[in-house]
Structure 1
Amino acid sequence: MSSHWPVPLIAQRADPFILRHRQHYYFIASVPEYDRLELRRAATLADLAAAEAVVVWKKHASGEMSELIWAPELHLIDNVWVIYFAAAPSREIKDGLFQHRMFAIACHDDDPLTGAWHECGQVMTPIDSFALDATHFVHQDRNWYLWAQKDPAIPGNSNLYLAELETPWSLKSAPVMLSRPEFDWECVGFSVNEGPAVIRHGNRLFVSYSASATDENYCMGLLWIDVAADPMKAENWQKSPQPVFKTSWENRQFGPGHNSFTVTEQGEDVLVYHARDYTEIEGDPLYDPNRHTCIKTFTWDSDGMPVFGEPPAAVD
């Protein structure tokens, strides 16, 4: 049964992203060392746990891509494999934030695990500031880039922005802000909107995202829009006033978030996320390696809204 995957599916892999392409699943995530990009491939979701991790890129010895390689995502954009990731020139925190920017690498070969990858540089946005967690999706026959970034004029760590793509690593349009931290549950520890993920169901396009500090307060929020509406008009988007997926103290699963979406081999919708199984974190939660990749199926209610439930307890 699809509901009986091990919890966690893959240990010590945060910010998990799973892409289904043809008959395979591809997996990429942050590694605890934050020093490389690695891909796995398997015929089933369950088999990703034991699949070989192939390193396709390593951080530079110095410079803008030399530290804290975070939250990679693998996308196939117009028949080109693209990995988006955040990187920083150092581990220094300035004005309360790390110094990450978004970068891309690309592979034009059929097989992203064995093909040649080349660097495409920084994905430039109008504001030169802390940026991370980019994703891609196709909507209304256009390629879109959705990410988190700090606006120095807005309090907090990061907001969510959307822009159309000119190429997989360059923007075509000026960005629009879709969401900023405004509710109490988005502002515990840090004021954060990050880790967006996109799924379509019925006549709506949904964007899930993560909020608050990366401890037990981390949780998921939700935006949505009619599929026929202009996504570049912020007023067309609606936002849930409550989190849609959060810590389960009963199940001892803490800070679930930074999700992505995929489907089972049978076509059921799957929520991919990370969580911890304890709250006693020493030091900065970012340097605690035990955010684990978990997956669960979810359903939709009679109004066409996702019902994520709660993170299931650990089980082998």
Structure 2
Amino acid sequence: MLYLENNTSFLLPYFLTSDVVLPAEIGGEAVVWRSSLFELLDKHGQLVSQREEISPEFRLTANTNRQEYSFTVRLLGEERRWLAGYTREPNENSNVYSRFVADSLHLALSREREEGGFEALNSNYGVLFAKADYSRSEAGETKLLQMPRFFRLAGQGFGILAIPLDYEEHVDGPGELLYFETQDFVHYEEKNRIKITQTAWLDYSCELDAATRLYRIGWKEESGETRFVTTKDFKDFSLPQPGVIFPARFAQLPIEGARAGQLIALTASEAAYLEHKLGRVRHVSVDDPIITLNAGAPSLNLNNARVTARYTDGSVALKRIEVDRNEAATIDLSQPGRHELEAKIVRHRFPYPMMNTRPDPYVLLYKGRYYFISTDDDWQRKIFIRSSETLEGLEDGKTEEVLLWNGNVPEGERRGEHWAPELHVICGKLYCFLAISVNNAWDGVQAHVALLEGEDPMNPAHWGTPQRVLNRHGEVLTDTHHRERDISLDMTYFELGGKSYVCWSQPKWIGEEQELAALYMATVNPEQPWRLTSDPVRICRNEYGWDRNGGIASGVSEGPYVLKQGSRMFMIFSGSGVGPTYAVGMMEMSAAEDPLDIHAWRKYNYPLMHSLSQPGQYGPGHNMFAQDEFGDWFNVYHACGVNGGHRHASIRPVHFRFDGSPILDMKDEEELLPEYERITLTVVVN
């Protein structure tokens, strides 16, 4: 992979792999190659990778009888792997995979060192999407991308270029490129849009030139001519001039819908991080469980016994176990000995659907019982609640439902749609946050809060009248008397650093324009959680193809839920249309920062849960994390059929990756291999 120009000079990229073939002659003259690091070049003039991931910078020189060529380069190590970047063909049914998600960067990682055996990352769903353009309207214009090309940066990280498309897949500015940077192919920053030329092109590439230490962007025009520009910072560019371009390396990928993918070599650690972060995490083993106690112990207490399950990304999960109590009672604890018991790892298998026509689900463990509450997808005007001693007992047919609020009954402003209830314990009191229509129609739903004034959440008479949420001035948060479709919904509550916050969805009016539904946040008085104590701050809006899936200005950001895990805060939310294109996104921040600071949050460019996550479950979303009495976490969500229709709720266990981020869509066999469901527990009495 050495690139000649006019037989008098040639191109060599700054980052090399050992399969780059250095030519034995140039212009008919023999070449002698030398390296300032002799161990990286063999006696035949071929590069030799070492065990280190990337070599120090070294000098390569090519000598002929008449000329010397000199390059500053670095060589990737022998344990490299290949990353392929590609876009996909959309599915003929746009509900399955539309152009809005197909026209994004997808990634696949080679299983072995060589090119081949690629595995799609993020379940073959896009990971890098172009941002919407908000320069002309508050609703924005959806943007897509095609022909992504990536390359290593001179320092750390990678650059990515892509041709911008409008929402109809037309080239959005001939000769223009979107420029992104990433440190790890997981977190991305869209830096700027650059104008290279006035001419449309057929192909292009970019590499860091080993001779000039400038980035060289080259392209092939429709006339067949190749031209290039150089830049050191992707802000200032040289004038276009004729010349050869760095060819990009491609592979045909045996992945559904994948177009040919450009390849780039990754170090072993870069590949491992990417695989662990975007690949499927799978269970691989269980540590031998051993319980040790002293002779004379009164009994064998296994209530808190856990076994360590290990996963492909290096993460672990502590799994509960169960044993036959009669068998356990036969163990003699009065004297030293070693005993073995057959044990079963406790696992939860929840059916889908589990709660039919119950979208926007919410589960709370309250005073020893689980309570499930949701929207009623049959006209969306009633709020039902059910309760059980176990999560499994919340399934349809296993417990009775009670009607709490009925929007079909003319009771003042509480007539109409009732949406997305949530149960929160605040200052020892139970509240229900929900959206209720104030004009007997969907476009008049407003955030409300109801207090449990009695003792029983299942008794409608024990609930107080829902109150409309007020801003910090004591006025209603949104008001259809002032503007049409002035709605607020999906309000959630969380606490951090001794302060109380609410977050909700609102398509806010800005002047004479209304934005698409975005997420707003404010502090709230915990003694009166319907009363804001700060001005609302917009912290998230739908800006990518996956959460604008459907048109030039389409989709919502809604259904927020906040989880604090150690020193980090995760906010999950739902985007796109409320139907089979729905998907779950995530933002995160340090728990030491201010949630009202929009710059504290980092929004993932891609969704964590989508229609490719679980077979037959389309549009998964409006989810939350429920914790059981043992401290284990579960994802409670809804989904629907490929063509929409009623939405149904279900539950899945949540696993946390090696870095503490949640996995929402782990399959049963990924969570626990069947052969480890039954294990042997060793009890050692000292």
TM over 0.5: yes
Deviation at 1:124, TM superposition (A): 2.4
Q: Is the 8 A contact 1:251 1:311 kept in 2?
A: no
Q: Does 1:15 align with 2:360?
A: yes
Alignment of 1:46-125 (within 5 A): 46-49=392-395, 50-59=398-407, 60-61=409-410, 63-90=412-439, 92=441, 98-114=443-459, 116-125=462-471
Alignment of 1:1-316 (within 5 A): 1-31=346-376, 32-49=378-395, 50-59=398-407, 60-61=409-410, 63-90=412-439, 92=441, 98-114=443-459, 116-125=462-471, 128=479, 129-153=486-510, 156-166=515-525, 167-189=528-550, 190-248=554-612, 251-276=615-640, 278-281=641-644, 288=645, 290-309=646-665
Q: Is the 8 A contact 1:2 1:264 kept in 2?
A: no
Q: Which runs of 5+ in 1 are unaligned?
A: 282-287
Deviation at 1:185, TM superposition (A): 0.9
Q: Which runs of 5+ in 2 are unaligned?
A: 1-345, 472-476, 480-485, 669-686
In structure 1, give the amino acid aligned to 2:535: A
1:13-43 alpha-carbon deviations (Å, 9 max, x no partner): 0100001124211110001232222221111
Q: Matches of 2:412 and 2:367 in 1, distance apart?
A: 37
Deviation at 1:3, TM superposition (A): 3.8
Q: Is the 8 A contact 1:263 1:270 kept in 2?
A: yes
- Aligned residue for 2:579, secondary structure, equals coil
- Aligned residue for 1:291, secondary structure, equals strand
Q: Is the 8 A contact 1:199 1:261 kept in 2?
A: yes
Q: Is the 8 A contact 2:455 2:462 kept in 1?
A: no
Relative distance call for 1:265 and 1:175 in structure 2 (3 A) is same
In structure 1, give the amino acid aligned to 2:428: N
Deviation at 1:250, TM superposition (A): 6.6
In structure 2, give the amino acid aligned to 1:185: W
Q: Matches of 1:63 and 1:258 in 2, distance apart?
A: 29
Deviation at 1:201, TM superposition (A): 1.3
Q: Is the 8 A contact 1:248 1:311 kept in 2?
A: no
Larger relative contact order (Cα-Cα within 8 Å, sequence gap ≥ 6) = 1
Percent identity, aligned pairs only? Answer: 29
Deviation at 1:92, TM superposition (A): 4.9
Deviation at 1:211, TM superposition (A): 0.3
For the pair shown, the structure with the greater C-alpha radius of gyration is: 2
1:160-213 alpha-carbon deviations (Å, 9 max, x no partner): 111111211111111111101111111113331000011111210111000010
Relative distance call for 1:226 and 1:10 in structure 2 (3 A) is same
Q: Matches of 2:347 and 2:410 in 1, distance apart?
A: 42
Relative distance call for 1:261 and 1:54 in structure 2 (3 A) is same
In structure 2, give the amino acid aligned to 1:103: H
Deviation at 1:309, TM superposition (A): 2.7
- Aligned residue for 1:118, secondary structure, equals coil
Q: Is the 8 A contact 2:559 2:574 kept in 1?
A: yes
Q: Is the 8 A contact 1:163 1:176 kept in 2?
A: yes
Deviation at 1:244, TM superposition (A): 0.7
Q: Matches of 1:294 and 1:156 in 2, distance apart?
A: 31
- Aligned residue for 1:242, secondary structure, equals coil
- Aligned residue for 1:183, secondary structure, equals coil
Q: Matches of 1:37 and 1:257 in 2, distance apart?
A: 19
**Which range is displaced more, 30-39 or 198-207?**
30-39
Deviation at 1:65, TM superposition (A): 2.2
Relative distance call for 1:171 and 1:139 in structure 2 (3 A) is same
Q: Is the 8 A contact 1:253 1:311 kept in 2?
A: no
Deviation at 1:62, TM superposition (A): 5.9
Q: Matches of 1:243 and 1:249 in 2, distance apart?
A: 10
Deviation at 1:157, TM superposition (A): 2.7
**Which aligned runs of 4 or more in structure 1 are off by greater than 3 angstroms?**
89-93, 125-128
Q: Is the 8 A contact 1:256 1:311 kept in 2?
A: no
Q: Is the 8 A contact 1:62 1:89 kept in 2?
A: no
TM-score (norm 2): 0.42
The number of residues matched between the two structures is 301
